[in-house]
Structure 1
Amino acid sequence: MNEHMNYGEDYKFIPMTSILSMVGQVVVPDIYCYTIQVVNICFIGDPSKNTGWTLIDAGMPKSANAIIQEAENRFGPNTKPDAILLTHGHFDHIGAIIELINHWNVPVYAHKNEIPYLTGQMNYANPDPTVGGGLVARMSPIFPNDAISLGNYVQPLPEDGSVPNLKDWKWLHTPGHSPGHVSFFRESDQSLIVGDAFVTVKQESLYRVLMQEKELSGPPKYLTTDWDKAWESVKKLEALKPAVAITGHGIPMSGEELAQSLTRLATNFDQLAIPKQGRYLN
């Protein structure tokens, strides 16, 4: 392992899964959503066009071999992405990042506000197990939370909202779940890669996560630290009127189901998403 890169001391495999683990789905021809245990990663690029591809997020801890294998299944042997983009740096979105950097030797991009958590400078706030009432929330204190260090491999996303190597896409700052959380949007077909700004499964509930019951929800409560910003982020994403949304957790959602559910969430976020009690309520 590169001496300038390391995971936090609490890095470990988390034994949680869902019925969709290791299942992939072509959402639109050049967006492939792949589930690793309970989290989604995205491959952006059309295999039929051979014009390169980009990975969004880096899965659960110890999942690098599965990600590399799925990339080669989709894009061919010895393929590698142009870059890895991170929606944010929570453990389930950066779980394989160091192994992937070592294997592919590609740059990583994240919002400037997320960089301190990715370069060993700051740990995330502790998860709040009292929210949401579900078993995943109660398990959250065991989740890895320490800053990881990617050294010079991680760079801030361009200030102008452009996305390296993806000229049709822009990134939007969607904080609340984490300080530098971003989502990615392509106006030409209204495709939205959300990260955890909202999700399509009640992520606090182990049963619903296991069965992947589809339900548009706010960000996972146990790791969300600024609920005012989280609401603003949902309003910002709803205003884009996305045709399809690929979230960090849960099944992609599209069309009328997405439009109605997202409008309802943006309007009634205080009722539907914000926990009744918890350490991060104002």
Structure 2
Amino acid sequence: METFEHGEHSNDDWHMGHAEAEEVLPDLAFYRTLIANVVFIGNKDTKDWVLIDCGIAHYSKRIIEAVEKRFGQDNPPRAILLTHGHFDHVGSAKKLAHHWEVPIYIHPLEMDYVTGKRDYPVGDATVGGGLFSLLSPFFPTDPVDLSKYVHPLPEDGTLPFLEDWRIVHTPGHTPGHVSLFRKQDRTLIAGDAFITVQQESSMAVFIQHQHVHGPPAYFTHNWDDAEKSVKALAALNPGVAITGHGLPMEGELLTTQLEELAKNFKELAVPKHKRNIH
């Protein structure tokens, strides 16, 4: 597998909307939509593939372009699966579902946030760490309405159209946040349960410095659940991980840093003034 590290790709690839997915495994690729990743599960020559997350708003055309470069024209996904309902993961979901005429799946605990019924809490600027934290109160938290397309994920952990993958409920960042895990090769799609860039810092996001971090602090409101979720994912001992923000990681570097985060979660991930709040 190709190892992704800062410096291997030009800034144009990551920051100027270069609409081409980067392959991580033969049946796994990702495309970065300004600040968040979308993931393609499926080999290039398959007609049986699934899109994970949809990036920010106004990125549907670029995502479609990346899809067509990887899978060819007139080859839509079987479905869209959302790890959670934050704006940077669902922004282009409605336009993509409409364009392809495909269903969207999300955990039942996220349904209210994507059917116009409930707002997420406003971003917390007090967590510190840089420009994104300061701007977070202005990030969209209004509920989107995907009612025409969205369905709850099965409660047994199975995934529609993805027999080899299983859902891992990883709450904390949001109540119904999920990750995806494939046991046979220990491949993990973690969403925002943990990430591989310090998302609070605009400079870290810009240079894509690789390091395992906790979930984006400004949008995480249940730190006890977030810690349990990181420990659960670390216990899976993933060999490869794609997260919602940052570049993919693999091997010993991933294992060591994820174990360290799980062991010292409060010190490494939880803002100091949040550590005694339950």
User: Does the alignment pair 1:85 with 2:81?
Assistant: yes
Q: Distance in 2 between matches of 1:67 and 1:277?
A: 39
Q: Distance in 2 between matches of 1:281 and 1:100?
A: 39
**What residue in structure 2 maps to residue 114 of structure 1?**
110
TM-superposed deviation, 1:132: 2.9
**What residue in structure 1 maps to residue 55 of structure 2?**
59
**What residue in structure 2 maps to residue 213 of structure 1?**
209
Q: Percent of pairs identical after alignment?
A: 50
Which runs of at least 4 in structure 1 moved beyond 4 Å after TM superposition? none
User: Does the alignment pair 1:105 with 2:101?
Assistant: yes
Matched residue type, 1:177: H
Q: Distance in 2 between matches of 1:114 and 1:281?
A: 23
**What residue in structure 2 maps to residue 148 of structure 1?**
144
**What residue in structure 2 maps to residue 178 of structure 1?**
174
Two-structure CA RMSD over aligned residues (Å): 1.6
**What residue in structure 2 maps to residue 27 of structure 1?**
24
Q: Distance in 2 between matches of 1:178 and 1:172?
A: 14
CA contact (8 A) 2:21 2:70 kept: no
Matched residue type, 1:214: Q
Q: Distance in 2 between matches of 1:210 and 1:142?
A: 20
In the alignment of these two chains, the number of paired residues is 265
Q: Distance in 1 between matches of 2:129 and 2:212?
A: 17
Matched residue type, 2:239: A
**What residue in structure 2 maps to residue 234 of structure 1?**
230
**What residue in structure 2 maps to residue 161 of structure 1?**
157
Q: Distance in 2 between matches of 1:133 and 1:74?
A: 36
Matched residue type, 1:157: L
Q: Distance in 1 between matches of 2:223 and 2:187?
A: 25
Which structure ranks higher in relative contact order (CA pairs < 8 Å, sequence separation ≥ 6)? 1
**What residue in structure 2 maps to residue 259 of structure 1?**
255
User: Does the alignment pair 1:47 with 2:44?
Assistant: yes
Matched residue type, 1:20: W
CA contact (8 A) 2:47 2:77 kept: no
TM-superposed deviation, 1:278: 5.2
SS of the aligned residue for 2:189 comes to strand
SS of the aligned residue for 1:68 comes to helix
Of 237-246 and 144-153, more deviation after overlay is shown by 144-153
SS of the aligned residue for 1:88 comes to coil
Question: Which of the two has greater helix per residue?
Answer: 2
CA contact (8 A) 1:130 1:278 kept: no
